[in-house]
């Protein structure tokens, strides 16, 4: 850092391509407001929304500046009134990327609603993306989707960080898991996460295969991280009473659900967003995931780790179509790249 009031942060003053607009800047150390903490970042998750916000395609950031890095693990450095964790605590949470104070920085701001203690036993690299993948998957599959043991779960985009978490959580909850993947490398990764079957929904034979797997009933829950054509194909294989969970839109286009079709075929469409967790759900999910980790039922698949000064490379090579979880680390001695 250059002086007590200065720090480094990756940010873009204008929307555009990474190479054209993203710069490592010296900026003022942010001061936490009510309900916030300033956090010294240890590691930050990298995902498709980070690239989308730089390009101006992310709905939660309508105007620049863009500062990527939505999820972090770090040490509480200073707190505003009402922040729920003390100075010195190791926490995970969301950055204030929504106002241009992202987590690809030496320090960021974390709002209290998103903050929780990092689960013991998780490395910084594992903890960085845990809320946006495993927490969201458990909230979606258990609290919203009511996935039951013996049901069939279809995960769209199973090789991504959110999809791979859903595969693991689905198996831990006792479901038969079908994952979708477009390449053999991604299919292999889905199987490593525990998927019972891996299909490419663009293949006309996939519908017959789902009929075979489910004895003609169809799937009970869809966990959709992709949207677009994949979501439209998945709607066609729903069982009566199915729950279609809308989690993301890696294809660039969210799922389009026909209300009349939903009514006539008796299924539900449910949006899953981490900001909708209440404190009871959050506590229950943390407790359950802690037990699952201890029992080795889930294991965060960190597949690439980049040092802080390699953020542009990580964004351009891993944000689109990456397998598993990509992490930016600010612990210099741990910085390395795995491909």
d(CA 88, CA 37): 11
- Specify the CATH number for 133-275; select among 3.30.70.920, 3.90.78.10, 3.30.450.20, 3.40.50.720: 3.40.50.720
pLDDT at 188: 97
pLDDT tens, residue order, the chain (339 aa): 445 589 999 999 999 999 999 999 999 999 999 999 999 999 999 999 999 999 999 888 899 999 999 999 999 999 999 999 999 999 999 999 999 999 999 999 999 999 999 998 899 999 999 988 999 999 999 999 999 999 999 999 999 999 999 999 999 999 999 999 999 999 999 999 999 999 998 898 999 999 999 999 999 999 999 999 999 999 999 999 999 999 988 877 889 899 999 999 999 999 987 666 778 888 899 999 999 999 999 999 999 999 999 999 999 999 888 899 999 999 743 333 332
Strands 116-117 and 90-94: antiparallel
DSSP H helices in 124-249: 124-128, 130, 136-138, 161-172, 184-192, 205-213, 228-235
Q: Where are any strands of DSSP class E within 247-301? A: 268-271
d(CA 23, CA 91): 27
Domain boundaries, the chain: 6-129+300-334, 133-275
| Inter-residue contact 218 to 239 (CB < 8 Å) | yes
The fold adopted by the segment(s) 6-129+300-334 is Quinone Oxidoreductase; Chain A, domain 1 (3.90.180)
Q: What's the token pair of residue 101?
A: 């104070």
pLDDT at 339: 28
pLDDT at 3: 52
pLDDT at 298: 95
CA nearest neighbour of 155 among 212, 237, 55, 63: 237
pLDDT at 276: 64
pLDDT at 251: 78
pTM of the model: 0.91
Q: What's the token pair of residue 234?
A: 């998945």
pLDDT at 1: 43
């Amino acid at each position: 850092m250059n002086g007590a009031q200065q720090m480094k942060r990756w940010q873009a003053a204008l929307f555009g391509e990474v190479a054209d607009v993203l710069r490592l800047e010296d900026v003022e150390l942010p001061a936490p407001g009510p309900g916030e903490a300033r956090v010294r970042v240890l590691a930050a998750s990298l995902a498709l929304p980070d690239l989308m916000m730089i390009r101006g395609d992310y709905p939660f950031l309508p105007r620049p500046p863009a500062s990527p890095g939505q999820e972090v693990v770090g040490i509480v450095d200073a707190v505003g009134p009402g922040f729920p964790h003390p100075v010195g605590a190791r926490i995970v949470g969301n950055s204030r990327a929504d106002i241009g104070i992202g987590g690809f920085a030496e320090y960021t701001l974390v709002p209290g609603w998103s903050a929780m203690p990092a689960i013991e036993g998780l490395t910084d690299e594992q903890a960085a993306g845990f809320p946006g993948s495993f927490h969201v998957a458990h909230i979606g599959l258990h609290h919203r989707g009511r996935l039951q043991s013996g049901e069939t779960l279809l995960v769209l985009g199973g090789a991504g960080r959110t999809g791979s978490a859903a595969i693991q959580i689905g198996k831990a909850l006792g479901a038969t898991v079908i994952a979708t993947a477009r390449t053999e490398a991604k299919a292999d990764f889905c199987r490593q996460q525990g998927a019972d079957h891996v299909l490419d929904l663009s293949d006309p034979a996939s519908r017959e295969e789902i009929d075979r797997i489910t004895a003609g009933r169809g799937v009970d829950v869809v966990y959709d991280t992709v949207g677009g054509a994949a979501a439209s194909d998945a709607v066609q294989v729903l069982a009566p009473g199915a729950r279609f969970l809308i989690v993301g839109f890696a294809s660039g286009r969210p799922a389009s659900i026909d209300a009349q079709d939903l009514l006539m075929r008796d299924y539900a469409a449910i949006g899953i967003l981490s900001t909708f967790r209440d404190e009871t759900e959050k506590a229950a999910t943390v407790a359950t995931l802690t037990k699952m980790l201890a029992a080795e039922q889930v294991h965060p698949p960190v597949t690439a780790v980049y040092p802080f000064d390699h953020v542009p490379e990580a964004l351009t090579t891993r944000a689109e179509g990456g397998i598993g979880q990509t992490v930016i680390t600010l612990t210099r001695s741990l910085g390395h790249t795995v491909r």
